[in-house]
Structure 1
Amino acid sequence: MPSNVPTFDDLLSSAKRSAVHLEMRDIYYSNPRFEAWQEGHRVDWNDRDSWWRPFHQSIADAVARGVTVRRARVISEPVTEYIRWEHYVTHANVTAGEQVRWVPRRLASDLLLPGNDFWVFDDTTVRIHHFSGGGDFIQDEFLDEPRLVELCASGFERVWDRAIPHEQFEIH
């Protein structure tokens, strides 16, 4: 990423009020934790040192400063194995203080949404994620154009209002 593009940690650590994340893909690039889960490995949630990552600490630090961190996921049903795994590991996000909700894609058909996953920080900046069709990460794009930020922020709110809180959402 070019050096003039702020990192996620920079954006989150400078957030004062809010950080919201919309995810709309059913599969993302694979990683060793997902692959281990596919092979039957399960997290020992009582052993925090085994699963707590710098990302979780960044979220916890932001929440401790008063930043509201929310994530909404638009998913297809039946869910992919990747989404099944994400639902399982979302326990870590919630433990860090992130609020997470899920909405089945069939319930989002009448929502106008941006074409990519993104984060919006304090309703002033957006970090857009670009992925290949197979879910491989390509690049992030950082923008602060007010109209685009508003489009993303309002799209997130439409999903959030319709989505089901993580603790109530069951994967079938």
Structure 2
Amino acid sequence: MPQNAPSFAELLEQTQTSAVHLEMRDSYGVPSEADSFASFLRGEWSEASQRAERSNWLNMVSAATARGVVMRRARIISEPVSDYIRYEHAGTQMNIDAGEQVRWLPRRRAFDIALPGTDFWLFDGRLVQLHNWTGTGDWHPEEPKVRTEDPAMVKLCASAFESVWERGIPHDQYAV
């Protein structure tokens, strides 16, 4: 991305109607989550500590949804779920409390959906931010995110997200 490109927080602040996020990995290796995930695996994870760690994100979601932005997140997951997906599931209620809507779709129910090759955010149905991951689930060092308003990419991402959303199971109805 160009150096003068807006940050994610700035993009979300500029969003007027919708921000949708599709996640398709069964695990991520983002360094900022490493301690929290390790704590979860040891059985020492608590929602209270997570709220503090995620306060910036939760505040951004709350601010966006308070001004009318609809935020939806869909996750395509393999079953049985990975430890990382159990970790994500455990923390999802915080996102919902902040205003996000979240659904889960078992991968076996997504086989016939045309999907882009990676996770993405779609802002206001016009701007896609594609995520470029390494094999270990961390941001790719040279080009972690790619943004485009290419109509074909926007159409693919919007269609993929809506198909996943339609089939997805609301968070409160999906048990891991």
Percent identity, aligned pairs only?
47
Separation in 2 of the partners of 1:51 and 1:5? Answer: 26
Deviation at 1:88, TM superposition (A): 0.3
Deviation at 1:50, TM superposition (A): 3.3
- The residue that corresponds to 1:99 in the other structure is 101
Deviation at 1:51, TM superposition (A): 4.8
Separation in 2 of the partners of 1:8 and 1:136? Answer: 17
Cα pair 1:123 1:153 within 8 Å, conserved: yes
Q: 1:53 aligns with which of 49, 52, 55?
A: 55
User: What number of residue pairs does the alignment pair up?
Assistant: 170
CA gap of 1:49–1:86, structure 2 versus 1, over 3 A, is closer
Cα pair 1:102 1:166 within 8 Å, conserved: yes
Give runs of ≥4 in structure 1 deviating > 2 Å. 47-52
- The residue that corresponds to 1:43 in the other structure is 46
- The residue that corresponds to 2:169 in the other structure is 164
After TM superposition, the score normalised by the length of structure 2 is: 0.91
Deviation at 1:95, TM superposition (A): 0.9
Cα pair 1:43 1:51 within 8 Å, conserved: no
1:11 aligns with 2:11: yes
Q: 1:1-172, aligned counterparts within 5 Å?
A: 2-30=2-30, 31-45=34-48, 50-138=52-140, 139-171=144-176
Deviation at 1:164, TM superposition (A): 0.1
Structure 2 counterpart of 1:165, one-letter code: P
Cα pair 1:60 1:97 within 8 Å, conserved: yes
Q: Which runs of 5+ in 1 are unaligned?
A: none
Question: For each residue in 1:63-111, what CA deviation from the matched residue of structure 2 results, as whole angstroms up to 9, or x when unmatched?
Answer: 0000000000000011110001000011111111000000000011111
Deviation at 1:13, TM superposition (A): 0.5
Structure 1 counterpart of 2:67, one-letter code: R
CA gap of 1:153–1:167, structure 2 versus 1, over 3 A, is same
